């Protein structure tokens, strides 16, 4: 396998290539090649799980200073779920670089969400051991942003949908969500969105794109309507 292609995809070049190989080593391959004295990736998976958890916890804590513990916990659970890790691993093409036993290979192991997600955790663990926590943090953040967008846009709660549903059920009318201003150069614009209900302004939000600004405005609108946000 040309592991340099994987390193290019990961955005990280290993000093110790053995760590990367270990991270890709599934137990089924190790069991079929006992004469080679190989190590499977389970210990690195254990380490990587903790590193990812810490990276995401730190990022959410800094990104959402007004969010309460309950909301942050829900967001973290979504972001470190098997589905999220599988999405990242698939984007990186990780499945194609795994060392699998013949049985697992025949059973489409390279496409299994749990197996691929575990391998991503192992790779992150390997990056951490090969470099530092700061480097691992930077690499993991880049992976998440490539797979899911910027962290400020990652929100488990869709405040816009929530506001529309709430207004329809409580007031029998829909709010208006309007872009009222945009400023800055093309590569670094900031948008301002206003939410009005029955001609009354109930929310204002700003963001680097219209979607983010609308979410902020809708969240403020829900608060102004005394909707119980966590």
Of the residues 40, 49, 192, 220, only one is catalytic, namely 49
175 contacts 188 by C-beta, under 8 angstroms: no
Strand partners, 99: 25
Angle at 124 between CA 99 and CA 42, to 5 degrees: 50
Of the residues 40, 45, 121, 130, only one is catalytic, namely 121
Task: Please say if 121 is a catalytic residue.
Answer: yes
How do strand 190-197 and strand 200-207 relate by DSSP bridges? Answer: antiparallel
124 contacts 50 by C-beta, under 8 angstroms: no
Angle between helices 3-10 and 82-92 (to 10 degrees): 120
Report d(CA 127, CA 49) in Å as an integer.
12
* Sheet of strand 200-207: strand arrangement: 176-183, 190-197, 200-207
Q: Which alpha helices (DSSP H) does the chain contain, by range? A: 3-10, 17-23, 27-32, 42-63, 69-79, 82-92, 102-106, 113-130, 133-148, 159-171, 210-224
How many Cβ atoms from other residues are within 10 Å of residue 100's Cβ?
A: 22
Positions marked active-site? 49, 121
């Amino acid at each position: 396998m040309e592991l340099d292609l994987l390193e290019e995809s990961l955005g990280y070049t290993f000093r110790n290539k053995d760590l990367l190989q270990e991270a890709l080593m599934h137990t089924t391959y190790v069991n079929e090649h006992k004469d080679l004295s190989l190590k499977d990736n389970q210990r690195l998976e254990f380490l990587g799980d903790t590193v990812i958890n810490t990276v995401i916890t730190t990022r959410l804590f800094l990104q959402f200073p007004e969010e309460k513990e309950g909301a942050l916990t829900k967001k973290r659970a979504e972001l470190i779920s098997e589905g999220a890790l599988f999405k990242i691993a698939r984007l990186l093409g990780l499945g194609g670089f795994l060392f699998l036993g013949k049985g697992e290979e025949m059973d489409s192991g390279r496409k299994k969400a749990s197996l691929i997600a575990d391998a991503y955790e192992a790779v992150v663990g390997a990056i951490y051991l090969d470099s530092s926590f700061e480097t691992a943090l930077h690499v993991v953040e880049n992976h998440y942003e490539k797979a899911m967008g910027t962290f400020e846009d990652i929100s488990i709660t869709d405040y816009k949908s929530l506001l529309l549903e709430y207004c329809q059920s409580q007031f029998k009318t829909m709010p208006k969500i309007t872009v009222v201003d945009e400023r800055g150069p093309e590569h670094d614009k900031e948008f301002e969105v206003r939410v009005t209900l029955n001609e009354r302004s109930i929310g204002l939000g700003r963001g680097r794109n219209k979607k983010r600004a609308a979410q902020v405005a809708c969240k403020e609108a829900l608060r102004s309507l005394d909707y119980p946000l966590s």
